[in-house]
Amino acid sequence: MAISPMREALLKALAYYKYLGIPHVLQLGISVSASKSRDYLKELREDRKFTDRKINYTLNKTTEDQKTKVSTKRNYDLHYLTKKGVNFLIHHAQLNPNDIRYPKRPKQYITNDYHHRMASIAIHISFEQRIQQQNYTNRKALLYYRHNRNGRAKFNGATRLQISEQNYYTPDILLNYQRADQSEEVFCLEIYKGDRVNYASEQLKQLFRILDTTKKIEAKINSNAIPRILCVCENQSTIKGIKERLKPDPNFRVKHNDQLIFFNTEKNVLQNFDQGRENINGISIQLSQLKNIEL
């Protein structure tokens, strides 16, 4: 079954990332324009049945003359492999079935999680591009929306940290990479859409306690490196508000706190994973400047 190299590259990217929107296809450099990306995906979906898509709409309410009007805007679809696409990659591209990610029981629409998931995928891509530029090795990446059943009937996110029998914490992304000198780094990412200062602050306090008092993140990502937290927000004002709440907290006055938690805007991270990152004291630090630490 013949297929062009570009279309095969697109299928392989879907197998790796599980979901991709047109902005992600452009970010990966698979296609040079949104219109071409749309054409490729339409052919793979409609003609070959190799892919399908999740649909999302944004509802806009406007009030005029005491009358409320509701309009809808269709956002970028999230594309994924079908079973037929998976079989093609196994038999014609020789991919290992265990290396192919695709939803087993997909739903047509994605609602509350849409914007957060779009950002998570884009940030994951940005991280891997930066790791490649630095000639580091990407050892492992776990994302919250990937299913890790472990014998459970209900959804169990791949990043889920079991704190107790009844309590758990699910970071957005866990990343582990290795430098040329074989030393490792682990990042635990939390991505916040909108101005959610109070919510983000309380969540980061809980995550920092997990980092400071347990080895659950290290065990989940299978690394002995001390994890570092990266908080990604849509704007600087949210970062400022979060910092103002975290700095007085005695739990953050630990040794090496300037090397344990970092902040950045989503725009910076998507342009370059290293660009604009700052620690809790406002000092900019790039991946190559991180110090090996022990708690």
pLDDT reading at 272 higher than 80: yes
In the Cβ-directed half-sphere of 43, how many Cα atoms lie within 13 Å?
Answer: 12
Percentage of the residues of the chain whose pLDDT score is greater than 90: 73
Q: What is the CATH number of domain 5-99?
A: 1.10.10
Domain boundaries, the chain: 5-99, 114-289
pLDDT reading at 111 higher than 60: yes
Determine the topology of domain 114-289 in CATH: Trna Endonuclease; Chain: A, domain 1 (3.40.1350)
**Tokens read off for 120:** 């998570």
What's the rounded Cα separation, in Å, for the pair 128 and 131? Answer: 5
> pLDDT tens digits, residue range 169-191?
999 999 999 988 899 999 999 99
pLDDT band at 148 (very low <50, low <70, confident <90, very high): low
Alpha-carbon torsion (71, 73, 78, 83), positive or negative? positive
State the pLDDT at residue 257: 85
| Rg of the chain in Å (alpha carbons) | 20
**Residue 125: Cβ within 10 Å count:** 19
10 near 76, Cβ under 8 Å? Answer: no
How far out from the chain centre does Cα 77 lie? 17
Which comes out higher in pLDDT, residue 47 or 69? Answer: 47
Mean pLDDT of 194-220: 95
141 near 175, Cβ under 8 Å? Answer: yes
> pLDDT tens digits, residue range 238-253?
999 999 999 999 888 8
> pLDDT tens digits, residue range 258-267?
899 999 999 9
State the pLDDT at residue 154: 59
**Residue 17: Cβ within 10 Å count:** 20
- Phi/psi-derived region of residue 218, left when phi > 0, alpha when psi is between -120 and 50, beta in every other case: alpha
Mean pLDDT of 97-112: 90
pLDDT band at 66 (very low <50, low <70, confident <90, very high): low
What's the rounded Cα separation, in Å, for the pair 130 and 123? Answer: 11
Mean pLDDT of 19-36: 96
pLDDT reading at 1 higher than 80: no
